[in-house]
Structure 1
Amino acid sequence: MRQPAEEAPILVRLPPHLVVLFPGADRLVALPARSVAEMVDGLDALWPGMRERICDETPAIRRHINVFVDGRRAGLSTPLAPGADVFVITAISGG
């Protein structure tokens, strides 16, 4: 019996402002995840404390963070297809 092919990981692109807080973190990360929440769990497993930087205590994605999946804004419950392109973007403000 033939084994099913392993699903392609998602690709997560992290902003420099977030990566600098976690020594050894990469800007481009490939990991298995079926939802944005699982992606955050995977990132936190690689770099403990990253969940708290991306999510608040409710839990929800923080107001100053945006997550886009294949060009569409996403929340923690957003499903991820194998090979999905995920961008984590920090808001920039100034005056």
Structure 2
Amino acid sequence: MDEAGEKMEAARPAPVLVRLPAHLVVLFPGADRLVPLHAASVAEMVEGLDALWPGMRERICDETPAIRRHINVFVDGRRARLATPLTPGADVFVITAISGG
């Protein structure tokens, strides 16, 4: 990388760290459970995941678009929506609900 590229990379904010559930990752060959991603909102994060693994958006979001009913996204320990902003270095968990009887 040249000096200009190094300066641009250094000026870029730290990525958020996205933690994906194991049963979602197995649906996407090559997907990781921990994904560093540059995103300013949860919606941007979902788009970034879908760019890496096409089809992931549909697994996380419904057609309205909103986070699916049985999926929860937490940012730094707080429940989030697609419009929730992400700060550099945020810890994001994508969690699927378990139901049954």
TM-score (norm 2): 0.90
* 1:14 corresponds to: 20
1:1-95 alignment, distance < 5 Å: 5-95=11-101
Write 1 or 2 for the structure with the bigger share of helix: 2
- Percentage identity across aligned positions? 85
Could you tell me which amino acid in structure 2 is paired with residue 93 of structure 1?
A: S
- Alignment gaps of 5+ in structure 2: 1-6
Moved over 6 A (4+): none
TM-score (norm 1): 0.95
Please report how far the alpha carbon of residue 29 of structure 1 lies from its aligned counterpart in structure 2 after TM superposition.
Answer: 0.1
Query: Whose Rg is larger?
Result: 2
Please report how far the alpha carbon of residue 5 of structure 1 lies from its aligned counterpart in structure 2 after TM superposition.
Answer: 2.3
